[in-house]
Amino acid sequence: MGKYFTIAEMIKSETADRRGIDNRLPKALICNVDGLIDNVLDPLREAYGKPIIVTSGYRCEALNKAVGGSRTSEHMKGMAADIVGTPNTKAENKKLFNLVQELNLPFTQLIDEKNFSWVHVSYDSCNVKKQVLKL
């Protein structure tokens, strides 16, 4: 459990609720979600100074398929979050994207999704490769 983010926040999904998909986090993946929160999301929130909204965190296989996620998505391992700033504007999302890099956080992937419609960030303690992409 992080300072700013909760497991409940990391598994919340309107798509799962709407479609009746059970998106509970398996116990084996809790350490992955905690790693993402402790190493990336909490330090980012601290530096950003205002709330960051997780629009998509952990996704079970059924939910990942429902939202059209990649078959190898790190969301399914509890290692990724799609986030937006406050307010949710492209300018705020770009700030988050740049801040992750300025703070030198140990991310695995950082993706500007659809011209800062949201930011995807992932953390795998075994693979901190710092890949920056624009999709």
pLDDT digits (tens, 9 = 90+) for 16-71: 999 999 999 999 999 999 999 999 999 999 999 999 999 999 999 999 999 999 99
Selected from 3.40.50.920, 3.20.20.370, 3.40.50.720, 3.30.1380.10, the CATH number assigned to the domain covering 7-134 reads 3.30.1380.10
Domain boundaries, the chain: 7-134
pLDDT tens profile 58-107: 999 999 999 999 999 999 999 999 999 999 999 999 999 999 999 999 99
What would the DSSP string read from start to end of 17-45?
HHHT---PPPGGGHHHHHHHIIIIIHHHH
Contact 44, 52 (CB under 8 A): yes
Whole-model pTM: value is 0.93
Q: Where residue 130 falls among pLDDT bands split at 50, 70, 90?
A: confident
Nearest alpha-carbon partner for 75 in 112, 131, 33 = 33
